[in-house]
Structure 1
Amino acid sequence: MDPLPPTYTLANARAAGLTRAHLRTGPFVRISHDLVVRLDDAIDPRERLRVLATALPAGAAFSHGTAAHLLGAHLDLPARPHVALTPRRVLPQRSDLVVHARSLEPADVVEVDGLSATSGPQTFLDLAAVLPPPELVAVGDALLRAGHATPESLRGRLARAGRVRGVVRARACAPLLSAAAMSRPESLVRFWLTDSHLPDPEVQVPVLDRHGRVVAHSDLGYRRWKLLLEYEGRQHADADRFGADIDRYSLMAADGYLLLRFAARHLNARTVVDRVERALLSRGWRPTPPIAPIEPA
C-alpha cells in the first residue's frame, strides 16, 4: 500500500495487492467507478474533510459540529463528519458520515479553507437542537468573535427558521451572545450568572485607577460593586503570563476591587453562582424582594 498515492485507480490498487474486500472494508472512499481515495493518508483532519468533500454530491456542506469547528468554535471535530444535503427522495447514507437534510439558501453556506460549510447563523441554529443552552451560548460567542455571525444575521436566519427543531432554544439564547467573550469558560460563567437570580455581569470590564485611567481589564464583573471575575486557563501558568497576571491583580486590589478567580475545577453553575452571590453581598448588593400579590378587595 505504501507506493499508492492518496488518490488512485482500481488498476493501481489491484497492482498493489488490494482486493475488492480490502476496498469495501478498509479506510477507502470510491469517488467514481475507477477512482479510490485512501483516507488514512490525509495530512490532518481538515485534509481528510477535503478528501471526503470530493465524494459528496453537488451542493453538500459540512454542518453542525463539523462546521462549528471549521468556523473557529471550541468544538472538536466529530469522529463522523456532519454533512447537510438538499432534501431528496433518498438521502445517501454512509457509515463514515452523518447526513442531514437541509434546504439551504446561498447565504446559509460559506467557504472555509476551500471547504463548503454552513454559515455561522445556520450552524448556530443546527446546534441548538443538540447542545444545552450554556454550550450553545459558548459556540455563539465564538462565532460572533470570529466574525462568522452578527446579531443581525442571527436574527434574520432565526426569523425564517419556522418550526425547525431547536429554534425555540436558539431564539432564547441569541440575545445572550457577546462577541467580547474571549473563551468557552468565560461564556459558561456568564450564562450561569445571567440565568440566575443575580445581576447580569458585564463583559471585559475596564479597571480604573483613582485618576480614572484604565489600568487593566477583567473577563467579567460588576463595576457598581467593584467586583471582578477572572477565569484562569492553562495559559496562565506560563511564567511571563503569570507575572503579568500578578501585576494586573495587584492593580485591581490596590484600587479597591474584589477579584474572584475561577479554574476548570470550578466550572459548574452551583459553585459559580454561590461564590459570586456571596461576594456581591459582601460588597453591598441586596436581592430585590419579590412583589407581594395584590389581595382582592
Structure 2
Amino acid sequence: MGALTEHQLYHDFVRLYQGVYLSKRTPVTAAVRARAAWLFAGPSAILTGFSAAALHGSKWIDASEPAEVIRVGHHRSTRNLIVHNCRLTSDEITVVDGIRVATVARAGFDLGRRLSRIPAIVALDALCGATGLKPVEMSRLAEQHPRARGLIRLRSVLEDVDGGAESPPETRTRLVIVDAGLPRPETQIPILGSDGWRFACSDMGWREWSVLVEYDGEHHWTDRRQRAWDIERSARIEALGWKVIRVGAELLYDRPHELVRRVRAGLCAAGAPV
C-alpha cells in the first residue's frame, strides 16, 4: 500500500487527533477513539477511565466522551483527550491488544472518583457486568491511595454498584427504587418453571415477596417476535405466583414518583414491611 495523498485524507478520512486519521466508513466507537488516543499520546501513555473500560469490553459508553490517558509529566489536555499526570504501580497496568491500559479495577477507581453519582454507577455497573469486577477491588485501591482525590465520592458510589444491570435504564430503575427508601432489589433473578428448569431471568426483584420489576426497552415494543415472547413470558411468570411491575422509558424518566408508588404497592400487597 502506498502513502495516502492529502486529497484522500481530506475526502475519505476524518482526523481524530493530530497525525491519527480514521476512514469515514468506520464508526467512531469509544474503543476506536481510545486506540486513536493511544497512538497520538505515544507508547508510554496508559489508557484509563472510559478508554480503558472500552478496551476491557464495557458497553454503553458514549462515543463522544473524550479519551483519557495517563502520562507522567506536564502534558496538556487537547480536544477530545483528557491527560492525567499521575503514576500507576505495575499491578495497575495491563496490556490489551498491544496497548497499555489501566487494569479493570484501576479504570473503575478512576471513573468512580471523577463522575457524578448516577453516571458513575451506570459506568461501574457496566464495567462490573462486562468483566466480573467487584466493588471491593476498587475499595482496596482506595486504601492503597489514601491521598487520591474523590475518594469520598467513590466510596459512596460503590455502595450502590451492581454488575447485574444489563443496561443503563436498568441501573437507573434500581436507583429510583433504592433512593425512595425501598429495599434494595436483587438483580438477574432466575425464574424456574414447574419442571424446575429456568426459562427466564428477571431484571430485578425480591424473591422473599415474589415481586419483580422489569424494564422494557424500545425493542420490546418494536420487535413483533420479542413482544409476543414478552407477553407469553409474563403470563408464565405470573402463573407461578410472581407479581411483575413493568417499567418503560416514560415512567422511568418522566414519572419516577409513579414508578415508586407502583413498586411500593406491590411490595405492600406481598407483605413487605415498607
TM-score range, shorter chain: 0.7 to 0.9
The answer (yes or no) to whether the contact 1:120–1:148 under 8 Å persists in 2 is no
Deviation of 1:40 (Å) = 4.5
Deviation of 1:182 (Å) = 1.9
Query: How many angstroms apart in 2 are the aligned matches of 1:202 and 1:4?
Result: 56
1:51-200 to 2 correspondence within 5 Å?
A: 51-71=36-56, 72-86=58-72, 88=73, 90-147=74-131, 149-200=133-184
Query: Match for 1:273 among 260, 263, 267?
Result: 260
User: 1:18-68 deviations in whole A, cap 9, x for unaligned?
Assistant: 9xxx9xxx94866xxxxxx35244744345543442332443122223333
Secondary structure, counterpart of 1:123 in structure 2: helix
The answer (yes or no) to whether the contact 2:37–2:67 under 8 Å persists in 1 is no
Q: Which runs of 5 or more structure 2 residues have no equivalent in the other structure?
A: none
Deviation of 1:231 (Å) = 0.7
Which structure has the larger Rg over C-alpha atoms? Answer: 1
The answer (yes or no) to whether the contact 1:204–1:218 under 8 Å persists in 2 is yes
- The one-letter code matched in structure 2 to 1:107 is D
Alpha carbons of structure 1 residues 38 and 135: separation in structure 2 relative to 1, 3 Å: closer
> Which residue of 2 is the match for residue 226 of structure 1?
210
TM-score w.r.t. length of structure 2: 0.80
The answer (yes or no) to whether the contact 1:226–1:257 under 8 Å persists in 2 is yes
Secondary structure, counterpart of 1:170 in structure 2: helix
**Residue identity (%):** 26
Secondary structure, counterpart of 1:55 in structure 2: helix
Query: How many angstroms apart in 2 are the aligned matches of 1:274 and 1:101?
Result: 47
Alpha carbons of structure 1 residues 239 and 70: separation in structure 2 relative to 1, 3 Å: same
Alpha carbons of structure 1 residues 216 and 52: separation in structure 2 relative to 1, 3 Å: closer
Alpha carbons of structure 1 residues 192 and 113: separation in structure 2 relative to 1, 3 Å: farther
Alpha carbons of structure 1 residues 274 and 114: separation in structure 2 relative to 1, 3 Å: farther
Alpha carbons of structure 1 residues 95 and 220: separation in structure 2 relative to 1, 3 Å: closer
Query: Match for 1:205 among 189, 193, 198?
Result: 189
Q: Cα RMSD over matched residues?
A: 3.1
Query: How many angstroms apart in 2 are the aligned matches of 1:134 and 1:192?
Result: 10
Query: How many angstroms apart in 1 are the aligned matches of 2:64 and 2:166?
Result: 23
Deviation of 1:261 (Å) = 0.7
Deviation of 1:209 (Å) = 4.9
Alpha carbons of structure 1 residues 127 and 271: separation in structure 2 relative to 1, 3 Å: farther
User: 1:208-263 deviations in whole A, cap 9, x for unaligned?
Assistant: 45676644321111222221110111232322222221121001121222111111
Query: How many angstroms apart in 1 are the aligned matches of 2:79 and 2:92?
Result: 26
Q: Which runs of 5 or more structure 1 residues have no equivalent in the other structure?
A: 6-11, 31-36, 288-297
The answer (yes or no) to whether the contact 2:37–2:81 under 8 Å persists in 1 is no
- The one-letter code matched in structure 2 to 1:103 is R
- The one-letter code matched in structure 1 to 2:140 is G
The answer (yes or no) to whether the contact 1:60–1:83 under 8 Å persists in 2 is yes
Alpha carbons of structure 1 residues 251 and 167: separation in structure 2 relative to 1, 3 Å: same
TM-score w.r.t. length of structure 1: 0.75
The structure with the largest helix share of the pair is 2
> Which residue of 1 is the match for residue 21 of structure 2?
39
> Which residue of 2 is the match for residue 250 of structure 1?
235
Query: How many angstroms apart in 2 are the aligned matches of 1:94 and 1:280?
Result: 51
User: 1:92-136 deviations in whole A, cap 9, x for unaligned?
Assistant: 443452211122122222333443332222222222233232332
User: 1:249-284 deviations in whole A, cap 9, x for unaligned?
Assistant: 001121222111111222245343232112222333
- The one-letter code matched in structure 2 to 1:266 is L
* Residue range with higher mean Cα deviation, 122-131 or 223-232: 122-131
The answer (yes or no) to whether the contact 2:55–2:96 under 8 Å persists in 1 is yes
* Residue range with higher mean Cα deviation, 263-272 or 101-110: 263-272
